[in-house]
């Protein structure tokens, strides 16, 4: 009797859910992966037609991998996942059951181009684009190899696959609004032409371990481009020269190994966010305490950074002078959020071999007199890896003096480092002088507040300590 009652209650709950209108059920389906949505439609006649009504689809090949995901992903798993993904695309985009009046306006698709599946997926996408049911394609072509495991031959082969996919279905590249590529070398192709000239609707471009041949320069001259976001990670470019990208709003470069100043900016009037992480070598992340490549261009920066809203400078060596950052802030008066991360890691040993490769660690150039009469817009200033050292206190006080709109000052302790812990290094409280240690407790933090503000506090400024 109790069992029947439970089954009855379960059935009533399911009926209540099925009685909801299509728009509510579509909202539910839009929050799960496509594999779950497909299974749901298969077990209920009420839900059967719903996946075909979704205006936005996200189809990720990793949703078809075994759970938990194997690491590394082996060839047979990629093949099986792509077989399921191809079946899902054929069902959702090419099914004769699909109502002609329904349009999937946007598709986010992540896939592997392995074992000839591009020959199956490409025509399905091209057909959906041709019928007008697909208007917006955000495509990620994945590769599971780590950058350190990729040979030049592997990257050229990946480029050949990518070029073949787009060449076979040119309508796909014209429909792209987002593109993400891994481990591609465009040495035998025109990177500018393929990624910007042909992708006329492209707004977001993400490149991981991609280049034009080791240390070749990439000059972007695309006055007609719609590109708004450019993210480059671990790419062996000799230099990135953004000569003209009028709609670029966000630029992030994480991980380069070229010996010279690798970035120059030309006509980028819409740039609002700049994130730079400069490594000493390919295995590192951030500035990693090495020498800074920034040049003291002063007022020359004003036109380039005039609309910047967020600026992040990460992994600055703990002993470096920091006042040089004022030049960037003076040039980018519109910056509202400024993040600085201080670097101090015993896991990176300062050996003779490192010094021969990267030189002695020396403080960056001294800041010259460069002060505008215009008011800063800075509202939030965050220091990660804060310690009450003279260099940091001097910078913070200088920023506070020049930023009347500053409302939040966040000072965070150093994040934990697995590599440092693995070396058996002493804790910072034992390894570093007291003035280099994050203040613990209210008494120590009150001392820092007085050092920064004196006896008079700013009632509009909130100083937050996060350990």
**244-281 confidence digits (pLDDT tens):** 999 999 999 887 666 566 788 889 989 888 887 754 43
Q: Tell me the HSE value of 382 on the side-chain side, using a 13 A CA sphere.
A: 17
pLDDT band at 7 (very low <50, low <70, confident <90, very high): very low
Q: Which of 173, 175, 268 is nearest to 222 (CA)?
A: 268
Does 5 score more than 80 pLDDT? no
Does 238 score more than 90 pLDDT? no
pLDDT given for residue 41 in this prediction: 55
Q: Give CA separation, 240 vs 150, 222, 262, 301, 453, in Å.
A: 22, 14, 6, 17, 41
Element (H, E) at 339: strand 337-343
pLDDT given for residue 333 in this prediction: 87
Out of 217-226, 231-240, 271-280, 451-460, which region has the weakest mean confidence (pLDDT)? 271-280
pLDDT given for residue 207 in this prediction: 95
Q: What is the mean pLDDT of residues 292-320?
A: 75
Out of 89-98, 105-114, 277-286, 450-459, which region has the weakest mean confidence (pLDDT)? 277-286
Q: Which of 222, 240, 244 is nearest to 231 (CA)?
A: 240
Does 1 score more than 50 pLDDT? no
pLDDT given for residue 337 in this prediction: 94
| Cβ-based neighbour number of residue 452 at 10 Å | 18
pLDDT band at 286 (very low <50, low <70, confident <90, very high): very low
Please write the tens of the pLDDT for every residue from 409-449. Answer: 999 998 887 777 777 777 777 777 777 889 989 999 999 99
In this predicted model, which residue has the larger pLDDT, 109 or 308?
Answer: 109
Please write the tens of the pLDDT for every residue from 345-360. Answer: 777 666 665 555 555 6
Q: What is the mean pLDDT of residues 137-161?
A: 91
Q: Give CA separation, 402 vs 356, 374, 375, 450, in Å.
A: 40, 10, 8, 18
pLDDT given for residue 282 in this prediction: 34
Rounded distance, CA 104 to CA 134, Å?
5
Please write the tens of the pLDDT for every residue from 53-73. Answer: 677 788 899 989 988 888 888
pTM beyond 0.75, yes or no: no
pLDDT given for residue 32 in this prediction: 66
Q: What is the mean pLDDT of residues 367-379?
A: 74
pLDDT given for residue 457 in this prediction: 62
pLDDT band at 190 (very low <50, low <70, confident <90, very high): confident
3-state helix, strand, coil in the chain (%, to 5): 35, 20, 45
In this predicted model, which residue has the larger pLDDT, 414 or 297?
Answer: 414
Please write the tens of the pLDDT for every residue from 103-148. Answer: 557 899 999 998 888 889 999 999 889 888 888 999 999 998 888 8
Out of 93-102, 216-225, 418-427, which region has the weakest mean confidence (pLDDT)? 93-102
Rounded distance, CA 179 to CA 182, Å?
10
When mean pLDDT is compared over 87-91, 100-104, 221-225, 268-272, the highest value belongs to 221-225
pLDDT band at 290 (very low <50, low <70, confident <90, very high): low
pLDDT given for residue 381 in this prediction: 97
Please write the tens of the pLDDT for every residue from 9-30. Answer: 444 445 566 667 767 776 776 6
């Amino acid at each position: 009797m109790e069992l029947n009652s439970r089954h009855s209650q379960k059935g009533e709950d399911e009926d209540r859910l099925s009685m909801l209108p299509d728009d509510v059920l579509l909202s539910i389906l839009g929050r799960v992966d496509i594999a779950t949505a497909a299974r749901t439609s298969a077990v209920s006649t009420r839900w059967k037609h719903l996946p075909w009504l979704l205006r936005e689809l996200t189809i990720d090949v990793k949703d078809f991998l075994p759970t938990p995901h194997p690491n590394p992903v082996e060839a047979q798993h990629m093949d099986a996942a792509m077989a399921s993904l191809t079946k899902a695309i054929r069902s959702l985009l090419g099914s004769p059951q699909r109502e002609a009046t329904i349009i999937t306006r946007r598709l986010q698709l992540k896939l592997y181009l392995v074992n000839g599946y591009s020959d199956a997926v490409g025509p399905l996408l091209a057909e959906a684009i041709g019928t007008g049911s697909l208007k917006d394609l955000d495509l990620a072509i994945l590769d599971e190899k780590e950058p350190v495991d990729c040979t030049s031959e592997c990257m050229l082969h990946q480029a050949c696959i990518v070029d073949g996919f787009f060449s076979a279905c040119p309508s796909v590249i014209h429909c792209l609004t987002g593109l993400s590529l891994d481990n591609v070398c465009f040495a035998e192709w025109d990177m500018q032409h393929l990624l910007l000239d042909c992708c006329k609707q492209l707004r977001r471009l993400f490149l991981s371990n991609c280049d034009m041949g080791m240390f070749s320069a990439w000059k972007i001259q695309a006055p007609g481009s719609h590109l708004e976001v450019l993210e480059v990670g671990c790419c062996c470019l000799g230099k990135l020269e953004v000569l003209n990208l009028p709609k670029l709003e966000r630029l992030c470069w994480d991980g380069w190994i070229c010996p010279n100043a690798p970035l120059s900016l030309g006509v980028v009037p819409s740039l609002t966010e700049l994130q730079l992480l400069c490594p000493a070598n390919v295995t590192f992340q951030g500035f990693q305490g090495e020498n800074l490549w920034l040049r003291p261009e002063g007022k020359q920066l004003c036109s380039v950074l005039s609309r910047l809203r967020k600026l992040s400078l990460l992994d600055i060596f703990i002993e470096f002078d920091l006042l040089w950052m004022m030049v960037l802030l003076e040039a980018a008066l519109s910056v509202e959020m400024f993040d600085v991360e201080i670097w101090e890691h015993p896991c990176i040993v300062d050996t003779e071999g490192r010094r021969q490769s990267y030189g002695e660690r020396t403080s960056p150039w001294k800041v010259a007199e460069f002060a505008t009469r215009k008011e800063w817009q800075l509202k939030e200033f965050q220091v990660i890896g804060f310690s009450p050292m003279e260099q940091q206190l001097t910078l913070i006080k200088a920023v506070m003096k020049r930023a009347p709109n500053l409302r939040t000052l966040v000072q965070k302790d150093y994040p934990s480092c697995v590599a440092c812990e693995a070396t058996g290094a002493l804790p910072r409280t034992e390894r570093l002088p007291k003035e280099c240690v994050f203040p613990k407790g209210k008494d120590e933090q009150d001392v820092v507040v007085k050092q920064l503000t004196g006896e008079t506090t700013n009632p509009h400024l909130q100083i937050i300590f996060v350990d």
